Structure 1
Amino acid sequence: MASTSLGPAYHRLWLATALSNLGDGIRMAALPLLAAALSRDPVVVAGVALAGQSPWLLFGLFAGAVVDRYDQRRLTVLVDATRVLLLAVLVTALALDVANIVLVYAVAFMCGVGETLRDTATATLLPPLVKDADLDRANGGLVNAEVAGNELVGPPIGGYLFGVAMVLPFALNGSTLALAAALIFSLPNVFAAKPVPAGEKRRIWAETGAGLRWLVRHRRLRALVALGGLFALMDSAWFPIFVLYVGQVLALPGWGYGMLLGVGAVGGLAGGFLAARVTRRIGTAAALAGCLLCAAAGQLMLALTTSVPVAAVGLGATSAAFGVWTVAARTLRQRLTPPELLGRVSSASMTIVMSAGPVGALAGGFVAAEWGLTAPILIGVPVLAVGALVCYLTLRTQE
């Protein structure tokens, strides 16, 4: 049967997501380059990444309560417009040659705060725009737009434009965000928060706690969020040292690292594209469990080989598994969560995944230093295999 159109509103949301994530990818590549141009201190340059990622750890859980409280469409437009103004300040400072590292940190941090709100709001914008039966296909398109912008297209453009002129990547980022805001504003007005009776609206932290308690009591969603964090933890334990693996285990020069990153990005896009077909054919529980098994198999291939083609297949398999997981987990979360709690449940899931990155990277670095570069890759194999069994047994009920 031919696929039906997801509708003009969805296509506007998709384009807004693509533009926003393209701008994010451009900015994430250009900000460290700008920091390096302003300071030769490695700690100062590395701090830019910390400034951009720390808002998830500081405010990620509270972002969901904010999103659930307000009109998600208007909130998204406000966040994008604010980030446009921040980037305009940075562009002006660069043009006047008065930019400094404090401004770079401030822009990275505030844009990161905006991302916590926007990414959480985006997860709540989709369900009212498409039929429930089309959620998996629609999420697949959004995930691919995110991966392509953040990982495949945005960073090379950001690096190239910075080499041409420092202001160009930040000016383009501001332009993409402005267009994204206009597209979000054009969506149907179906996102207004439900009115809360006088005296029942609580503080943000209390609403956050209420959402977390509901999530903890929901057996399937609790398992889904925990397994998503486990998946991210095992992946982040080896990926930050992958550049060393490529040079020392595969004996490839610098271009080989870039080539394999491209293989990983293509694998992620393939996973996002195929996710709806996979889940419809074998069911969500089997698909999610299969993702963990596929990732385990891919990591086993990486850990036991010195062959570049075998390593490429292993990397592609893990990336594709992550792509399918992202789509299937997001769709299940949207279907199982009441609309008034979706922001809080989504932000809890994303915060756990984002927090797993630095924890996994730190642990993986220590493991690699003690037992070798393949050790953190190999450790994930049994962990993911057990996780697959738990996933299937926990999520197969009520399918």
Structure 2
Amino acid sequence: MTSESKKLPVGFGRLWTAQTVSSLGDGVSHAALPLLALTLTRDPIALAVITAAGTLPWLLFGILGGALVDRWDRRRTMWVTDAVRAVLLAVPAGAAVLDLLSVPLLATTAFLLGLGGLFFDTAATAYLPDLLGRDPAVLERANSRLRSAQTAASGFAGPPAGSALLALGRAVPLLADALSFAVSAALVRSLPPVPRPLPEARESLLRQARAGASHVFRDRLLLGLALRPAVGNVAFLALETVLALFAHERLGIGAFGFGLLLTAEAAGGLLGAGLASFLGRRLGTGTALTCTAALEGFAILLLAAAPGPYVAGLALALCGAGVGATMVLAPSLRQAVVPAHLMGRVASTSRMLSMCAAPFGAFLGGWLATAYDVRTPLYAAAFLLLAMTAVTSTMTGNRRVEAALRAAAATTAPTTSAPTTDPAPVPQPTA
């Protein structure tokens, strides 16, 4: 039976449902939290603090979080994290009912939700190849379905639902998000146990974290896969910082039209995620990744030169398609070639690099727009994306990808132990 014809296991359906429900809740809270903040303050610095608080966990604990996930049972990490996040959201919901909401409370909530997201996302990335095996074609199909559902839930359905629920009461969207986490936790708890990586020699947490980061930086393929989102985040944050201003001043688009632009980008993301496996089979994963990177760069170049809203919408849709396909192909390849016992650390290191790069992009976009012109950050973003494509094309080319897949398939040393009927308790890190 070929990889393309293999059926995904029943457990994947539950994982897909859990992540889709959780993504819907994320979309609700992403729309509701800024609106809740606006009911408390109009201070831009205070609003920025709430927004930044959600990204801080990746900057502070990204590598260490991956090392912990590699020590812990991944299924248990996911469902416990979502259960804790459900309980956590009851605090600001209760404060909203009692009229005790504050900026520090919202910032703390955003930080703790981001910390939970670090553990859940890293554990989910590591759990998927444990559940499905390391067949690249199967992983691409699974990631395509996950990415499409997450985009639809958090990008299309969640934000308008969050705005509508907020009209019913300040606590309502928070409770809806809490319910989504509770449902996700219950579904993940019911997932089947999987073979677990054999424990490494007992080392300090910092030494294990360092080993995971070194594995990324010493492997040209993994480094290339990590550089793509890192440089991409600089470019995309430079773009996003001025996109609303660009749409208003140069395209003559109001608030409703700006929402349609973002919808066009999300629609392109859905299309790209759906086509990712096809592109990988026809072009090879390495060539497909190079093509999607180039598509993103040329799409932003088209956006910068767009004479009107229709061309701008097309450009954002093309960019979204490139990003959507990349977000299926790159994680699937990483899951196929990284040893199971390192998966959490490699995933979190790559994610941390991209999160650290994002603030530089925001600063770059604001500075270029102030010093030159509102279109300048868009041209700079396009240049960065195309330069990154040229640099990483050899690092993630078809030959290197095929060599890495052969090496992973040829590994004969046992890396897993037999599955148990229930995961062992989550061990606590030593001092």
**TM-score (ref. length: structure 2):** 0.88
Q: For residue 180 of structure 1, what is the aligned residue in structure 2?
A: 184
Q: For residue 169 of structure 1, what is the aligned residue in structure 2?
A: 173
**Aligned partners of 2:142 and 2:26: how far apart in 1?**
21
Q: For residue 69 of structure 1, what is the aligned residue in structure 2?
A: 71
Unaligned runs of 5+ in 2: 403-431
The C-alpha deviation readout for 1:162-188, integer Å capped at 9, x for no partner, is 122111101111111011011111111
The C-alpha deviation readout for 1:343-383, integer Å capped at 9, x for no partner, is 01101111112222221111111011112111111123333
The answer as to whether partners of 1:143 and 1:326 remain within 8 angstroms in 2 is: yes
The answer as to whether partners of 2:166 and 2:173 remain within 8 angstroms in 1 is: yes
SS of residue matched to 1:187: coil
Q: Which moved more, 1:129-138 or 1:15-24?
A: 129-138
**TM-score (ref. length: structure 1):** 0.95
Q: Which moved more, 1:216-225 or 1:375-384?
A: 375-384
CA change 1:267–1:3 in 2 (3 A) is farther
The C-alpha deviation readout for 1:104-161, integer Å capped at 9, x for no partner, is 2221111111011111111111112225131101011111222223322212111111
Q: For residue 12 of structure 2, what is the aligned residue in structure 1?
A: 10
**Aligned partners of 1:51 and 1:378: how far apart in 2?**
29
Aligned pairs, number? 396
1:79 aligns with 2:81: yes
**Aligned partners of 2:332 and 2:60: how far apart in 1?**
26
1:44 aligns with 2:49: no
The C-alpha deviation readout for 1:216-269, integer Å capped at 9, x for no partner, is 111211122112211222122112211011111111122110110000011111
Letter in 1 for 2:104: V
**Aligned partners of 1:39 and 1:311: how far apart in 2?**
33
CA drift of 1:193 comes to 4.8
**Aligned partners of 2:77 and 2:238: how far apart in 1?**
35
CA drift of 1:5 comes to 3.3
Letter in 2 for 1:204: L
Q: For residue 23 of structure 2, what is the aligned residue in structure 1?
A: 21
Matches within 5 A, 1:329-340: 329-340=330-341
1:290 aligns with 2:294: no
1:141 aligns with 2:132: no
**Aligned partners of 2:48 and 2:236: how far apart in 1?**
21
Letter in 2 for 1:55: P
**Aligned partners of 2:357 and 2:27: how far apart in 1?**
20
Matches within 5 A, 1:271-310: 271-310=272-311
Q: For residue 222 of structure 2, what is the aligned residue in structure 1?
A: 221
Q: For residue 377 of structure 1, what is the aligned residue in structure 2?
A: 378
**Aligned partners of 2:39 and 2:308: how far apart in 1?**
38
**Aligned partners of 2:152 and 2:51: how far apart in 1?**
20
1:238 aligns with 2:242: no
CA change 1:42–1:313 in 2 (3 A) is same
CA drift of 1:389 comes to 3.0
Aligned-residue RMSD, C-alpha: 1.7
What's the % identity of the aligned pairs? 36
CA drift of 1:191 comes to 5.4
2:198 to 176, 194, 197: 194
The answer as to whether partners of 1:285 and 1:391 remain within 8 angstroms in 2 is: no
SS of residue matched to 2:39: helix
Q: Which moved more, 1:66-75 or 1:372-381?
A: 372-381
CA drift of 1:4 comes to 4.8
**Aligned partners of 1:237 and 1:369: how far apart in 2?**
12
The answer as to whether partners of 1:245 and 1:374 remain within 8 angstroms in 2 is: yes
Q: For residue 157 of structure 1, what is the aligned residue in structure 2?
A: 161
**Aligned partners of 2:93 and 2:383: how far apart in 1?**
49
Letter in 2 for 1:252: I
The answer as to whether partners of 1:91 and 1:170 remain within 8 angstroms in 2 is: yes
Q: Which moved more, 1:349-358 or 1:12-21?
A: 349-358
**Aligned partners of 2:7 and 2:163: how far apart in 1?**
36
The answer as to whether partners of 2:230 and 2:358 remain within 8 angstroms in 1 is: no
**Aligned partners of 1:380 and 1:89: how far apart in 2?**
40
The answer as to whether partners of 2:58 and 2:118 remain within 8 angstroms in 1 is: yes
CA drift of 1:98 comes to 2.9
Q: For residue 205 of structure 2, what is the aligned residue in structure 1?
A: 204
**Aligned partners of 1:306 and 1:289: how far apart in 2?**
28
